Amino acid sequence: MKLLRNTLLETFVTVVECGGFTDAQYALGITQSAISIRIRDLETALGYRICERGRGGFRLTERGEIAYRKAGDILRSARDFDAELLELRGTTTGDLRIGTIDAVNTLAELNLAQVLKRFLDRPNEVQLEVVVASPTELTQKLITGDLHVAIAPFRNQVPELTYTELCQEEHRLYCGQDHPLFDLPDDQIDLDVISQHQICQRSYNILVSPVLQTAQPKATVANMEAMAMMIETGHFLGPLPVHFIKNWAHRDRLRELAPDKLNWNSTFYLATRPSLAQRRAVEILVQDIVKSCKRGQES
Amino acid sequence: MKLLRNTLLETFVTVVECGGFTDAQYALGITQSAISIRIRDLETALGYRICERGRGGFRLTERGEIAYRKAGDILRSARDFDAELLELRGTTTGDLRIGTIDAVNTLAELNLAQVLKRFLDRPNEVQLEVVVASPTELTQKLITGDLHVAIAPFRNQVPELTYTELCQEEHRLYCGQDHPLFDLPDDQIDLDVISQHQICQRSYNILVSPVLQTAQPKATVANMEAMAMMIETGHFLGPLPVHFIKNWAHRDRLRELAPDKLNWNSTFYLATRPSLAQRRAVEILVQDIVKSCKRGQES
DNA sequence: TGTTCACATGAGGTATTTTTATGTAAATAA
DNA sequence: TTATTTACATAAAAATACCTCATGTGAACA
């Protein structure tokens, strides 16, 4: 049910996402002619062409590009508006857009999958959407309203958002089985030896180089699996979360290096925009997450 | 022309503002029955009653109150959205909501009336709205998008907004003709004498008491005319902008006190939200204001 | 050159919305 | 008490908007 329905804008956005009228038919549940008319009407209202279409392919015009972005924004806030008003009725409804960094599913203390399961088990009409991005992107998306909640090790906390501490994540340094250090006995491995080797750096979160005082890292990755793969090549050392290794298929092909000397902790936070915390759906999910984390730490 | 037209919400907001269906007919240009149906439809969609109506008078329910506020917000941002998309067409259009503190019209260096005149003289379809409020309220309204630009002596500047310095405003201390100090020769008036008397304090802006080290002020006003009237009672001394006095009808009934020792300057700023500065209408107005101020200072 | 693809257009029908006319209930007046 | 007015609700008819179906058009491609 839609309070703030706007057929023209919704059509436009769907058409862009489907890459043309023909496919959008099925997404919108109307015929291609209806779409054609709606887009024409929108263009008439705007006074300029928003997209080129036809046999040559579908393409947004320059202005159409801007219009598309703005339309997406306003439709998102319209959906939130709907949800807010409908929740006054007593039901839990609307979109719930959650963001995390990658590889959170193996964080035992949090157990996000379990939390989501519990949330979905409750009677509600909420539509979940999960986005994976870097902490910086998550922060941005929270502020613009793209996301309702996000979970990540937020190092730079901004005043617009509220943060709740969730749990710790321990990182250690690893090498692959083809790496020269793989077969070296423990007593021959110290920081000096380690610092002779190339490090693969994650583009956010743990910074290894300062501790080891190695040169600029030759490789940078923005994803945990990518990091694991780079390490598996045997060319790089790299930090990985302990919980991640436990679930990594080839964990026997990786070796921890000086775990007692080299380990880093990052704190995971749950972030929300205070104004959105009013939404019942958001409220419930946040409580679920926090509760799950407390339980995770006790056990 | 409306891109994001929402008949139900617009009807609701108008009905609330008109205080009932009957008056809203004329505002909306439809019959009372249509309004009745629209409100019923909105209530059906929401699942709860938003207002009590009938012979006993019109009244919002508790939830209706919340819905009304949220509806106002979303409609405002919908209008802004419209304006942004329509301006891509090349025309200058949309709402332009300006906020100031009171008594800016006599600020010779700024000459806001002249600026607005010039703006309206240009060919455009912009709808102006001017709001007068305190700096704190103006800041709030800018952040929420209630206002596009505001002019005031912003002492507490927040990072969400951008500020442009405009001009200075000089305040001096005055007394009314019935005040004991009114007829005292200049050489008998010094800070000690002055500090014996009651001060009328403005609820924001110039703080007189710290300088004079007088007791807590007995009277507080939130408006320049109110201040002038309090001073005219002969019971209070109070600060007023010099430019304001020049245009005050009863300026011969007021007397400046120790203008060489007691004068305060406040700096006027123009504040906008960076994201809104993109709007052509906002851009043009801001340029007009800044230009007018520069001219004002030269002459 | 003909065919196909992706959209545009027009006629006709269906849905939605509005108006007109009238009904109802509460407050006020007689 | 009863009549009247006020403010809104409702039903049916009228008007309008919207969609589908059938068909047209023009660019790309075989």
Whether the CB-CB separation of A84 and B70 falls below 8 Å is answered with yes
Rounded Cα gap, residues A153 and A101, in angstroms? 8
- At B45-78, the pLDDT tens digits run 999 999 999 888 899 999 999 999 999 999 999 9
Whether the CB-CB separation of A150 and A273 falls below 8 Å is answered with no
Q: Please report, rounded to a whole number, the percentage of residues in chain A having pLDDT higher than 90.
A: 46
Q: Does A114 touch chain B (CB under 8 A)?
A: no
Domain residue ranges of chain B, discontinuous segments joined by +? 1-88, 168-266
B225: left (phi over 0), alpha (psi -120 to 50) or beta: alpha
Rounded Cα gap, residues B214 and B292, in angstroms? 39
**CB A2 under 7 Å to nucleic chain C:** no
Q: Which residues of B touch A85 (CB under 8 A)?
A: 46, 66-67, 70-71
Rounded Cα gap, residues B8 and B50, in angstroms? 12
Question: Coil, strand or helix: which one is A8?
Answer: helix
Would you identify the CATH topology of the domain A168-266? D-Maltodextrin-Binding Protein; domain 2 (3.40.190)
Position with higher pLDDT, B227 vs A163: A163
**CB A36 under 7 Å to nucleic chain C:** yes
Q: What is the mean pLDDT of chain B?
A: 86
What kind and span of H or E run contains B99? strand B93-100
Q: What is the CATH code of the structural domain delimited by A1-89?
A: 1.10.10.10
- At A239-257, the pLDDT tens digits run 999 999 988 888 899 999 9
Q: Which residues of B touch A86 (CB under 8 A)?
A: 46-47
- At A63-79, the pLDDT tens digits run 999 999 999 999 999 99
Which of B1, B4, B70 is closest, CB to CB, to A74? B4
Strand D contact residues in chain B (178-217), C-beta within 7 Å: none
Whether the CB-CB separation of B120 and B243 falls below 8 Å is answered with no
Distance from CA of B117 to the nearest CA of A (A): 28
Q: Determine the residue among A63, A66, A88, A273 to mutate to test chain B binding: the one whose Cβ has the most chain B Cβ atoms within 10 Å.
A: A88
Which of A28, A26, A23 lies closest to A9 in space, CA to CA? A28
Distance of B213 CA from D16 C1′ (whole Å):
72
Q: Which residue shows structure tokens 């730079």?
A: A156
Distance from CA of A143 to the nearest CA of B (A): 12
Distance from CA of A11 to the nearest CA of B (A): 13
Give the pair of three-digit tokens for residue B48: 């709860």
- At B105-140, the pLDDT tens digits run 778 888 888 888 888 888 788 888 888 888 988 998
Compute φ and ψ for A169, nearest 5 degrees.
-125, 125
Q: Which residue shows structure tokens 């986005």?
A: A131
Give residue A21's pLDDT: 96
Position with higher pLDDT, B22 vs B223: B22
Give the pair of three-digit tokens for residue A171: 């990182």
- At B135-184, the pLDDT tens digits run 988 998 998 888 999 999 998 898 889 999 999 998 999 999 989 999 99
What Å distances lie between residue B271 and A282, B67, B99, B131, CA to CA?
33, 30, 10, 14
DSSP string, A226-237: HHHHHHHTTS-B
Rounded Cα gap, residues A132 and A136, in angstroms? 12
What Å distances lie between residue A30 and A83, A165, A200, A290, B6, CA to CA?
25, 47, 51, 43, 21
Q: Determine the residue among B9, B50, B88 to mutate to test chain A binding: the one whose Cβ has the most chain A Cβ atoms within 10 Å.
A: B88
Assign B3 a pLDDT band (cuts: 50, 70, 90): low
Rounded Cα gap, residues A83 and A81, in angstroms? 5
Give residue B227's pLDDT: 82
Q: What is the CATH code of the structural domain delimited by B1-88?
A: 1.10.10.10
